């Protein structure tokens, strides 16, 4: 889907927070806002992710991956290593 520029005004404390957040999480402000709006859209349309996130094994795996990505211990694999020939 093509991107469209969208200008918003925020309180300075939120701007400061999101700048730190995106740096720590290696993402962008646009991606943070996009993910928030998609979650809001899913909730409004009744298309919730709660079923997936409420699964204890999935939740544990998600937290584990986030932790390894943040501390730099994640091991990256090539496409071939993951999916084979």
Q: What is the pLDDT of residue 43?
A: 79
> The whole model's pTM is what?
0.54
pLDDT top residue among 14 and 56: 14
- For the residues of 3-32, what is the DSSP string, one character each? ---------HHHHHHHHHHHHHTT--HHHH
pLDDT tens per residue across span 41-53 = 887 887 766 666 7
pLDDT of residue 45: 84
Model confidence over 41-84: pLDDT tens digits? Answer: 887 887 766 666 778 888 889 889 999 999 989 888 888 888 88
C-alpha 18/C-alpha 36 separation (Å) is: 12
């Amino acid at each position: 889907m093509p991107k469209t520029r969208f200008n918003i005004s925020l309180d300075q404390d939120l701007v400061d927070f999101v700048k730190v957040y995106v740096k720590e999480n290696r993402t962008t402000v646009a991606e943070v806002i996009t993910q928030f709006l998609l979650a809001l859209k899913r909730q409004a349309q009744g298309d919730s992710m709660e079923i997936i996130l409420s699964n204890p094994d999935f939740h544990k795996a998600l937290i584990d991956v986030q932790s390894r990505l943040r501390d730099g211990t994640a091991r990256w694999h090539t496409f071939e290593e993951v999916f084979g020939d």
